[in-house]
Amino acid sequence: MDRRVVFTPSGLDGVVPDGVTVLDAARQMGVDIDSVCGGRGICGRCQITPSNGVFAKWGITATETSLSGLAETETNYRAKRALVPGNRLGCAARICGDVVIDIPAISQVHRQIVRKDLDLDPIIVDPSFSLFYLTIPEAQLGDSVSAADALSNAVAAQHKRKAPEVARRALSTLHSAMAKSEGEVTVAVRHTDGADQIIAAWPGFVDAAYGIAVDVGSTTVAGHLCELLTGEIVGSYGLMNPQIRFGEDLMSRVSFVMMNPGGEVELTNAIRAALNDLITNLVKNAGITKSNVLEITIVGNPIMHHIVLGIDPTPLGMAPFVLATNESVSGWANELDLDLPNAAYYVGPCIAGHVGADTAAAILAEGPHRSKEMQLLVDIGTNAEIVLGNTSHQFAASSPTGPAFEGAQISAGQRATAGAIEHVRIDRTTLEPRVKVIGSELWSNEPGFIESLGDTVVTGICGSGIIEVIAEMYLSGIIDTDGVVRGELTSKSSRIVSDERTFSYLFYEHGDTKLYVTQNDVRAIQLAKAALRAGIDLLVEHAGNPVVHDIRLAGAFGAHIDPVYAMVLGLVPDCPVAGVRAVGNAAGAGAVQSLLSRKLRHEMEDTVRKVTKIETATEPRFQQLFVEAMAFPHKTALAPNLAKVIDLPARVASSADGQGRGQSRSGRRRRP
C-alpha cells in the first residue's frame, strides 16, 4: 500500500510504498538530510521528528502508528548517546501510514544560516536590575535578625538606599550564599514600580549580570545576550522556529490548534523548548552560568506572543481577531518553563490582532514617533507589519503576504542556506542570466565559480534572489507589466520554454540541475507584493497622502533586499532611492533596548497605545488597491525617482484598455 509523506520545513512531499524507511523516502524526494554511517544507526545524524495530528493543509491525519515501533538500533543508540526526546532515527523508522516528518536543523546537511544582524543606536543604560556587594557580620547565638533582614539591612546601610524586600523565590539561596562566602555576598536587586526586591544572591564578589533579548519570529528565533550594567552585547544566537512542522505560516498553526484539541500545548512546548535551546547556547558560548541571567525580554507577532505565554491563539485566527491582552506581560522565567533560575521575563505589548510586540519593538528602535518627517517602516515576513507616522501620528497595519518571499510556494525556492542563489542579473539583449550563490563571492559567469563552491551544491533560490530574478525578468522584457511570461520570446532565447499552457524561464543550469521561474512563481510574488503594497497605500491614504521619502525595510528578509529591486517590483512606493534602506532586525534591536533601559521600555508601552490600527480585512479600499498593485511596478502610480537610476520598460496600458504591450525603454543605467 502506498503512503503519503510530507517533509518540513522543505514542504517536499510524495508517495512511497508501505515499509520504506524515512531516510530512504527523504532521499527519494531530495530532502536535505544527513547520514554519515549510511543508515546503520550508528552516527545519529538522520534524526527526524514525527508530527501527530490532523494536518488540513495536506489532508493528512498522522498517528503514532504512522511509523513503525522503536527498532533495536534506536534502542541501542538511545542507550549509548541519548536520542533527542521525541526524535526517531530516519534510517530505522519505517513508514506505515500517512505522516508529516520534520527534519530538525541538527539533521540537515545545509543547515540554515540565521541572519541576526543588529543595528543598535547608542542608549543610556538603565536596566531593571542592580548588583550590590555586601559584607555581612557573622551571626551570633541569640541574634534575632534573619538572613533576609541581614541582606536587606546591609543594602540600605552600605549602599545608602531604601532597604529592599526579599523575594520569596530567593529565600532558598540566601543561607547557601552567606555560608560559602565568609560574610561576603553579592545580591541582585530588581527595580519595580513598587518596592525593590532582592531576587538572587551569590557568594563573594560578582560584578556582571546578564539579560537576554529575544525576537520570536514565525520562521526564526534570534536572541542577544547583554551585560545589563554596561549594555554590551556579548553574544547572539539564532535558530529555526520548530513550530514550522505544524505549518509554515501562522494561520496554518492556528488551524492545527483548531483541529487538534490540546494543539496549543504542543505549540507552546515547542517554542519554549527552542527558547531553552537558545538560552543554553548563549550562556555556553559566553562562558557564564544561567544563574547570572536576571531577565529575558521577548517580542513577537501576536500569535507567537500568545503561544509563548501559553494562551490559546485561535481567537486570532478569526474575525474580529481579539487579543487576550494588548499590555506587556511580566513574571518569573520559570513560569514559562525557561531554565533561568534567577530571571524575570518581560513580554512586550501588542498593538492589534495582527500587529504584535515585534512591531512595537521595531517602532521603539526606528522611532517614527520621534521623526518630524513621515517614516514608513516595513517588516516583511509571512505576515508583513507596516507602520507609517511621525511625531504627530502613527498608523499601523498588517498585510497577509504569505511565505512566497521566503521561498515557499516558489518552485525553486528555499531559505537562505549555503547553496542558495541570492543575486541574479539578466543580460538585456541575450537574456542570459548570471547568479551569485551564498558561499561564493564569484558570479556564475566568472572563471572558477563551480570550484569556489567546494562541496556546496546549488539547490535553489532564496528570498532576495527571488526578488531580483523577477525584477530582472521584468526589466529584460521576459515578463510584461501584468506579470505574463512572454512566450513569443522562445524564438529569441532557449531559456524561455513552454510549460503546458504557460512559459517558464531557465535561470540556472549545471549538470543535471535546472532551476526555473514558472508563471505560477511570478503570480505568487505578485500576490505577495500586491498585499504588501496595498497595505502600505492604505496607510498612506489614512495619513492624508503625505510624501514619504524615508522608507525602512526591517527583518531578515528586508535586510537583504536591494532597494532598487524592491521599487522595481513595486513593493514600496516610489521615492528617491537613497531614501529606501535596510535596518536589519529592528524588532531584535527594540527588544535589546527594552531590556537595557526602563525608560525606553516605558516609551514603547506609551507609544503603542497611541498608534491608530488599520484592519486591512475590513477596509473597503483594500481590494481596489490590491488589484492596482498587482502590476509591475504599479498599475497607476508613477515611478519618476526609480526611472532616474535604472532603465525601465515603457509604461503601457493593460490589454483591457485596448493598448499593445510596448517594449521600448527609458531611464539612465542598469544594475551592476
Within-domain flag for 338: yes
CA gap 109, 291 in Å, rounded: 34
Provide the H-helix boundaries in 187-259.
250-259
Residue recorded with cell 488551524: 255
Per DSSP, the residues of 116-176 read ----------B-SEEEEEEE-PPP-TT----HHHHHHHHHHHHHTSPPPEE-GGGHHHHHH
Tell me: the pLDDT tens digits for 222-269?
Answer: 999 999 988 889 999 999 899 988 887 788 899 999 999 999 999 999
Does 234 share its domain with 313? yes
Return the H-helix or E-strand segment holding 192: none
CA distances from 49 to 29, 172, 186, 579 (A): 17, 38, 44, 45
- Nearby residues of 63 by Cβ (< 8 Å), 6 or more positions away: 52, 97
Q: 618 vs 234, 400, 614, 666, CA distance in Å?
A: 45, 13, 9, 39
Are residues 236 and 317 both part of a single domain?
Answer: yes
Q: 467-508, pLDDT tens digit by residue?
A: 999 999 999 999 999 999 999 999 999 999 999 899 999 999
At 563-617, the pLDDT tens digits run 999 999 999 999 999 999 988 889 999 999 999 999 999 999 999 999 999 988 8
CATH of the domain at 184: 3.10.20.880
pLDDT for 234 equals 93
- CA nearest neighbour of 211 among 344, 404, 378: 344
CB count in 10 Å sphere of residue 172: 9
Would residue 671 count as lying in a domain? Answer: no
pLDDT band at 418 (very low <50, low <70, confident <90, very high): confident
> Using the 8-state DSSP alphabet, how is residue 470 labeled?
H
Q: Give the residue from 73, 107, 141 where a domain finishes.
A: 107
Same domain, 218 and 271: yes
User: CA separation (Å) from 514 to 172, 270, 468, 484?
Assistant: 64, 36, 18, 21
Q: Using the predicted structure, report yes or no on whether residue 558 has a pLDDT greater than 70.
A: yes
Beta-sheet strand order (sheet of 433-437) = 433-437, 420-426, 460-461
Q: How many CB atoms neighbour CB 650 within 10 A?
A: 12
User: Could you tell me the three cell numbers for 191?
Assistant: 527595580
In a domain, 115, yes or no: no
379 and 487 in a single domain? The answer is no
The CA–CA distances, whole Å, from 537 to 533, 543, 554, 631, 639 equal 6, 10, 18, 14, 14
Burial class (CB in 10 A: 0-12, 13-18, 19+), 68: middle
Domain shared by 500 and 532, yes or no: no
The neighbour count for residue 581, using CB atoms within 10 Å, is 13
Q: Output the domain CATH number for residue 28.
A: 3.10.20.30
Cell of 250: 501562522
Q: If 0-12 CB within 10 Å is exposed, 13-18 middle and 19+ buried, where does residue 503 land?
A: buried
Lowest mean pLDDT among 365-374, 513-522, 612-621: 612-621
CATH code for position 323: 3.30.420.480
Please check whether residues 217 and 252 belong to one and the same domain: yes
Give CA–CA dist 370/373, Å, rounded. Answer: 9
Length of the chain (residues): 672
Identify the burial level of 273 via C-beta atoms within 10 angstroms of its C-beta, where 0-12 means exposed, 13-18 middle and 19 or more buried. middle
Domain count, the chain: 5
What is the Cα–Cα distance from 88 to 19, expressed in whole angstroms?
Answer: 15
**Do β-strands 2-8 and 13-17 pair in parallel, antiparallel, or remain unpaired?**
antiparallel
Tally the C-alpha atoms within 13 A of residue 402's C-alpha that lie toward its C-beta: 14
| Distance between CA atoms of residues 17 and 610, nearest Å | 58
φ/ψ of 3, rounded to 5, equals -125, 145
pLDDT of amino acid 654 = 42
CB atoms within 10 A of CB 501: 7
Q: Which of 113, 118, 111 is nearest to 559 (CA)?
A: 118
* Residue 77 or 424, more confident: 424
Q: What is the DSSP letter of 413?
A: B
The residue from 455, 489, 514 where one domain ends is 514
Q: Which of 41, 537, 586 is nearest to 367 (CA)?
A: 586
Note whether 189 and 155 are within 8 A (CB): yes
Contact 369, 381 (CB under 8 A): no
From 33-47, 102-116, 238-252, the region with the lowest mean pLDDT: 102-116
Average pLDDT, the chain: 88
- The pLDDT, as a whole number, for residue 120 is 64
Any idea which residue has 505549540 for its cell?
A: 267
Q: Are residues 399 and 536 in the same domain?
A: yes
Q: How many of the other CB atoms lie within 10 Å of CB of 649?
A: 20
501 occurs within a structural domain: yes
Cell of 624: 481596489
Give which of 301, 362, 290, 303 is closest to 333, Cα–Cα: 290
216 lies in the same domain as 331: yes
Both 382 and 410 in one domain: the answer is no
Domain end point (choices 158, 188, 203): 203
CA dist 382 to 127, 406, 408, 461, Å? 33, 8, 10, 17
pLDDT for res 657 = 36
**477 and 506 part of one domain:** yes
The pLDDT value recorded for residue 566 is 92
- Separation between Cα atoms, residue 199 and residue 189, nearest integer Å: 6
Instruction: Kindly state whether residue 35 falls inside one of the protein's structural domains.
Output: yes
- pTM of the predicted model as reported, rounded to 2 decimal places: 0.85
Q: 602 Cβ partners below 8 Å, 6+ apart?
A: none
What is the rounded distance in angstroms from the CA atom of residue 259 to the CA atom of residue 257?
Answer: 6
Q: Is the dihedral of CA 584, 588, 594, 597 positive or negative?
A: negative
Residue 270 forms part of a structural domain: yes
**Residue 286 CB-half CA count within 13 A:** 27
* Residue at grid coordinates 519554549: 272
Q: What is the pLDDT of residues 1-14, one digit of tens each?
A: 899 999 988 778 89
Q: Domain check: are 216 and 335 in the same one?
A: yes
Is the preceding omega at residue 368 within 30 degrees of 0, hence cis?
Answer: no
Q: Is the Cα torsion angle 600, 604, 610, 616 positive or negative in sign?
A: positive
Contact 300, 317 (CB under 8 A): no
Distance CA 348, CA 67 (A): 41
The mean pLDDT of 185-212, rounded to a whole number, is: 90
| Rounded average pLDDT over 431-446 | 95
Euclidean distance between CA atoms 189 and 165, whole angstroms: 9
Distance CA 27, CA 11 (A): 14
Helix then strand then coil, % of the chain, to nearest 5: 35, 25, 40
- Residue 118: predicted pLDDT: 62
- Is 114 part of a structural domain of the chain? no
Same domain, 399 and 421: no
Cell numbers for 20, please give them: 520504506
Identify whether 664 is part of a domain: no
Q: Which domain holds residue 7?
A: 2-107
- pLDDT average, residue stretch 145-171: 89
